[in-house]
Amino acid sequence: MKKALIVIGILIILIIVAAAVGGYHLYRKPSVRFLLIASDIIKPYGYEKKEIVLKLKEWDTPMTVLTPVNSKPGKYYFFLHGFSPEAYRHPTLEKLAAGIATATGRTVFVPFIRGITKKDWTLAEVARQVGGIYMQLKQQRPGRYNAFGACVAGTGLLVAFNTIPVEDYPEKLFLYGPFFTGKLLVEYYNKAGVEVDYMVKMANALNSRGFSDKERRLVADAILASKPGTTDREAMRAILGDELFNRLDESRVDNKEFVSIDEGSIFTKGRKMPDTEFFVMHSTSDNIIPYTFGLSLHKFIMTCGGKSRFVATRIFSHSESKFSLSESYKELTDIIHFLDDLFSDDNDGDK
C-alpha cells in the first residue's frame, strides 16, 4: 500500500508541475495536501502534538491531541483506533491524524479505547465506550465534529454512533476500508481456497480462547513487529515459531463479536437516519477486507436513506504495470474530487 501511495504522490507532483502557474492554488487544496502526506512525499507540518488525559465520568483515558498552529476554532476530527497492540499510538494512524490536521486545520482527537485492547472484549461494551467518550468529548469541547475510522475501526464507528442520539452524529464520517456484515466477512475468511493476509489470523487469535495467554502475548509481539502493507509471513514465523505459526495459519476465524455485527448494529431498524455525510473509500486490492464489502456498506447506507459517497481505487494494486498513466490520472482525479467533497468545509478560501 505504501508503494502505491507513493505512485499517487508522484502523479500529484506531475499534475502540479504541469499546472505551472496554477500549482500553488492546487497545493492549497486540503485534498492534495492530505494525499502528499499520506504518500510520504511531504511530512505533516504546522501542528502541535500533545498527550493528555481525558477526564471522563467513569474513568480517565489517555488521548493524543493534534492542534494546527492556525487551527479553526470549534472544528474537530474524532479518530478511532483499531485492534492492534499499539492502539491509539499506531504509526499509520498517527500519520493520517497529522495529515488531517495539516490539511484541514481542524484539531484532531485520538483517544485510547480501553475495551478494544482488553482480553475477551464484547461489541456492546466497546460500542458504549466509544459512544460515551465521543459524547463527553463533545460536551467538554463543543463544536463541529467529523470522524475517521479505518478497516474494522471504520465499521466500529458506525456501531458506536448507533448508541448515541441521532442529532449528535458527526457531520461527516470518513471510512477507509470498512466492512458491512461480520457474518459474511468471517464466512469469506473461512472459505476454502481464499488466501487472506496473515494479519487477519493474528488479530483473530488475540481474542480467541483457542490460544493461551502466553501465545497471545507472542502474537501481540508479532503484530507490533509487522510492517505496513502485506504481512511478511516468514518474518512472523521467525517470531512465532513453526508450531504456533502453523496453528494460526490453519485456524478458522471464529470471533463471535465480529459475527454479531449486522445491519441492525449499524442502523437500528425504524430509527431516524442521521443527517451525516458518509465517505467510503476502499482499495480494490485490499487483502484484509475486500472492497466489495465497503461497496455493500455504501449501498446499504443509500438504501436506508443516508447520504454516501464511495470511491474504489485500483492505484493501490500491487501490480501498477496493469494501468496506463491516463487511467491512473483519471482515477487520481476521482479520488481528489472525493476528498474535495470530504474537505469542502476546510478549504483555505473558506476561513
Neighbours of 126 (CB within 10 A): 22
Instruction: From residue 105, give the alpha-carbon distance in Å to each of 26, 124, 254, 315, 342.
Output: 17, 33, 41, 27, 14
Residue 258 included in any domain: no
Tell me the pLDDT of the chain averaged across its residues. 81
Position 27 confidence tier, pLDDT thresholds 50, 70, 90: low
* Domain of residue 274, CATH code: 3.40.50.1820
Same domain, 172 and 72: yes
Mean pLDDT over 299-314 rounds to 91
Position 227 confidence tier, pLDDT thresholds 50, 70, 90: confident
In the predicted model, is pLDDT for residue 333 greater than 90? Answer: no
The pLDDT value given to residue 38:
79
Residue 257 included in any domain: no
Residue 260 included in any domain: no
Task: Please state, in angstroms and rounded to a whole number, the distance separating the CA atoms of residues 244 and 329.
Answer: 44
In the predicted model, is pLDDT for residue 309 greater than 90? Answer: yes
Same domain, 60 and 33: no
Same domain, 164 and 198: no
* Predicted confidence (pLDDT) per residue in 125-176, tens digit: 888 888 999 999 999 999 999 999 988 788 889 999 999 999 999 999 999 9
Task: Please state, in angstroms and rounded to a whole number, the distance separating the CA atoms of residues 66 and 48.
Answer: 6
Region of poorest pLDDT, from 168-177, 198-207, 295-304: 198-207
Mean pLDDT over 256-278 rounds to 86
Task: Answer with the residue of higher pLDDT: 114 or 243.
Answer: 243
Residue 259 included in any domain: no
User: Has this prediction a pTM greater than 0.85?
Assistant: no
Domain of residue 117: give its range: 46-181+270-313
